[in-house]
Structure 1
Amino acid sequence: MELQRLHLKNTLVCLLENCRSMRELKQIHAHITTSPQFFITDRWFLISRIIFFCTVSQSGSLSYADTVFRLVPQKTLFIYNSMIRAHASRIHDPSSSQPLILYRQMLFDGITPDCITFPFVLKHCVSRVDGLVGSSVHAHVVKFGFHSDVFVQNSLITLYSQCGSVENARKVFDEMSNRDVVSWNAMVIGCLRNSELDMALELFRRVKKRNIVTWNSIITGFVQGGRPKEALEFFYEMQVSGDDMVSPDKLTIASVLSACASLGAVDQGRWVHDYLNTSGMECDMVIATALVDMYGKCGSVSKALDVFRSMKNKDVLAWTAMLSAFAINGNGREAFELFLDMETARVRPNDVTFTALLSACAHSGLIEIGRWCFRVMRHAYHIEPQVQHYACMVDILGRAGLFDEAEGLIRNMPMEPDVFVWGALLGGCQMHRNFQLGEKVARYLIAIEPLNHAFYVNLCDIYAKARRFDHVKEIRALMKEKEIEKTVPGCSMIEVNGVVCEFSVRGSPLVLMTEIKFVLSSLSDEIGRSINMSAVLE
Structure 2
Amino acid sequence: MESRRLLKSMARLLDDCKKMRELKQIHSQIITSPYFSKSDNLFLISRLIFFCAVSCSGSLTYASRVFRVTDNPNLPIYNAMIRAYSCQFSNKDHKPHSLVLYKQMLLNCIVPDSITIPFLLKECGSRFYFVVGQSIHAHSVKFGLHHDVYVGNSMIGFYFACGVLTYACNVFDEMSKRDIVSWNSIIIGCLRSAELDMALDLFTRMDKKNIITWNSVITGMVQGARPKEAIEYFKEMLVSREDMIYPDKITLASAISACASLGWLDHGKWVHGYMLRNGIECDMVTRTAMVDMYGKCGNVDMAKRVFKDFPKKDVLAWTSMISVYALHGYGNEAFDLFDEMVACGLRPNPVTFGALLTACAHLGLIERSRWYFNIMKSVYLIDPTVQHYACMVDILGRAGLFDEANRLIASMPIDPDVFVWGALLGACQMHGNVELGEKVAKHLISLQPLNHVFYFTLCDIHAKAGKFDDLENTRALMNDRGIKKDMPGSSMIEVDGIIYEFSIKGSSEVLVEETKSLLYQLTEVMKVDQDTLLILNKQ
Contact 1:125 1:133 in 2 (8 A): yes
* Alpha-carbon separation, structure 1, partners of 2:328 and 2:24: 62
* Structure 1 residue 291, shift from structure 2 partner: 0.5
Contact 1:391 1:420 in 2 (8 A): yes
Q: What secondary structure sits across from 1:348 in the alignment?
A: coil
Whichever residue aligns with residue 53 of structure 2, its letter is T
* Structure 1 residue 23, shift from structure 2 partner: 1.4
Relative to structure 2, which stretch is displaced further, 376-385 or 402-411?
376-385
* Alpha-carbon separation, structure 2, partners of 1:152 and 1:298: 46
* Structure 1 residue 297, shift from structure 2 partner: 1.1
RMSD: 1.9
Q: Which residue of 1 aligns with 2:365?
A: 366
* Structure 1 residue 11, shift from structure 2 partner: 2.6
Q: What secondary structure sits across from 1:353 in the alignment?
A: helix
Q: What secondary structure sits across from 1:455 in the alignment?
A: helix
* Structure 1 residue 380, shift from structure 2 partner: 2.2
Asked if residue 191 in structure 1 is aligned to residue 185 in structure 2, the reply is: no
Q: Which residue of 2 aligns with 1:72?
A: 70
- Check 1:162–1:38 CA distance in 2 against 1; reply closer, same or farther (3 A cut): closer
Which deviations, in whole Å up to 9, do the C-alpha atoms of 1:8-27 show, x marking residues without a partner?
33332222111111111122
* Structure 1 residue 487, shift from structure 2 partner: 4.8
Q: Which residue of 1 aligns with 2:209?
A: 210
Which deviations, in whole Å up to 9, do the C-alpha atoms of 1:77-129 show, x marking residues without a partner?
11111112122222112455222222222222211111111222222223234
Q: Which residue of 1 aligns with 2:44?
A: 46
* Alpha-carbon separation, structure 1, partners of 2:124 and 2:297: 42
* Alpha-carbon separation, structure 2, partners of 1:523 and 1:168: 61
* Larger RCO, structure (CA 8 Å, separation 6 or more): 1
* Structure 1 residue 506, shift from structure 2 partner: 4.2
What are the residue-to-residue correspondences of 1:13-28 with 2, within 5 Å?
13-28=11-26
Q: Which residue of 2 aligns with 1:376?
A: 375
* Alpha-carbon separation, structure 1, partners of 2:324 and 2:246: 30
Q: What secondary structure sits across from 2:245 in the alignment?
A: coil
* Structure 1 residue 159, shift from structure 2 partner: 2.4
- Check 1:102–1:493 CA distance in 2 against 1; reply closer, same or farther (3 A cut): farther
Contact 1:269 1:294 in 2 (8 A): yes
* Alpha-carbon separation, structure 1, partners of 2:469 and 2:118: 66
Which deviations, in whole Å up to 9, do the C-alpha atoms of 1:12-48 show, x marking residues without a partner?
2222111111111122222222334433333332222
What are the residue-to-residue correspondences of 1:205-284 with 2, within 5 Å?
205-284=204-283
* Corresponding pairs, count: 536
* Structure 1 residue 203, shift from structure 2 partner: 1.5
Whichever residue aligns with residue 13 of structure 2, its letter is L
Contact 1:268 1:498 in 2 (8 A): yes
Contact 1:292 1:321 in 2 (8 A): yes
* Alpha-carbon separation, structure 1, partners of 2:401 and 2:31: 79
- Check 1:533–1:293 CA distance in 2 against 1; reply closer, same or farther (3 A cut): same
Q: Which residue of 2 aligns with 1:168?
A: 167
* Alpha-carbon separation, structure 2, partners of 1:484 and 1:156: 45
Q: Which residue of 1 aligns with 2:350?
A: 351
* Structure 1 residue 431, shift from structure 2 partner: 1.8
Relative to structure 2, which stretch is displaced further, 443-452 or 497-506?
497-506
Whichever residue aligns with residue 521 of structure 1, its letter is Y
Contact 1:401 1:428 in 2 (8 A): yes
Q: Which residue of 1 aligns with 2:84?
A: 86
* Structure 1 residue 510, shift from structure 2 partner: 2.1
Contact 1:84 1:120 in 2 (8 A): yes
* Alpha-carbon separation, structure 2, partners of 1:159 and 1:494: 45
Which deviations, in whole Å up to 9, do the C-alpha atoms of 1:196-244 show, x marking residues without a partner?
2122112211212211011101100111111101110111111111312
What are the residue-to-residue correspondences of 1:125-164 with 2, within 5 Å?
125-164=124-163
Contact 2:257 2:289 in 1 (8 A): yes
Which deviations, in whole Å up to 9, do the C-alpha atoms of 1:151-184 show, x marking residues without a partner?
1112222223333333322222222332221122
Q: Which residue of 2 aligns with 1:31?
A: 29
* Alpha-carbon separation, structure 2, partners of 1:311 and 1:230: 30
Relative to structure 2, which stretch is displaced further, 395-404 or 528-537?
528-537
Which deviations, in whole Å up to 9, do the C-alpha atoms of 1:262-308 show, x marking residues without a partner?
00001111111111111101112111111001111111111111111
Relative to structure 2, which stretch is displaced further, 476-485 or 54-63?
476-485
Q: Which residue of 1 aligns with 2:456?
A: 457
- Check 1:134–1:231 CA distance in 2 against 1; reply closer, same or farther (3 A cut): same
* Alpha-carbon separation, structure 2, partners of 1:317 and 1:328: 16
Q: What secondary structure sits across from 2:383 in the alignment?
A: coil
Q: Which residue of 1 aligns with 2:430?
A: 431
What are the residue-to-residue correspondences of 1:264-413 with 2, within 5 Å?
264-413=263-412
Relative to structure 2, which stretch is displaced further, 237-246 or 288-297?
237-246
Q: What secondary structure sits across from 1:492 in the alignment?
A: strand
Whichever residue aligns with residue 20 of structure 2, its letter is M
Q: What secondary structure sits across from 2:491 in the alignment?
A: strand
* Alpha-carbon separation, structure 1, partners of 2:342 and 2:224: 36
Q: What secondary structure sits across from 2:47 in the alignment?
A: helix
Relative to structure 2, which stretch is displaced further, 389-398 or 306-315?
389-398
Asked if residue 512 in structure 1 is aligned to residue 511 in structure 2, the reply is: yes
Q: Which residue of 1 aligns with 2:118?
A: 119
* Alpha-carbon separation, structure 1, partners of 2:484 and 2:120: 48
Contact 2:45 2:77 in 1 (8 A): no
Using structure 1 for the length normalisation, give the TM-score. 0.95
Whichever residue aligns with residue 373 of structure 2, its letter is F
Contact 1:397 1:403 in 2 (8 A): yes
Contact 2:366 2:395 in 1 (8 A): yes
Identical amino acids, percent of aligned pairs: 57
* Structure 1 residue 332, shift from structure 2 partner: 1.6
What are the residue-to-residue correspondences of 1:92-111 with 2, within 5 Å?
92-94=90-92, 96=94, 97-111=96-110
Q: What secondary structure sits across from 1:363 in the alignment?
A: helix
Contact 1:95 1:128 in 2 (8 A): no
* Alpha-carbon separation, structure 1, partners of 2:282 and 2:369: 34
Asked if residue 59 in structure 1 is aligned to residue 57 in structure 2, the reply is: yes
* Alpha-carbon separation, structure 1, partners of 2:521 and 2:62: 82
Asked if residue 501 in structure 1 is aligned to residue 500 in structure 2, the reply is: yes
Which deviations, in whole Å up to 9, do the C-alpha atoms of 1:356-395 show, x marking residues without a partner?
1111111221112111111222222222323222222111
* Alpha-carbon separation, structure 1, partners of 2:527 and 2:123: 71
Q: What secondary structure sits across from 1:244 in the alignment?
A: helix
Q: What secondary structure sits across from 2:242 in the alignment?
A: coil
Whichever residue aligns with residue 11 of structure 1, its letter is S
Whichever residue aligns with residue 47 of structure 2, its letter is R
* Alpha-carbon separation, structure 1, partners of 2:231 and 2:42: 57
* Alpha-carbon separation, structure 2, partners of 1:487 and 1:132: 43
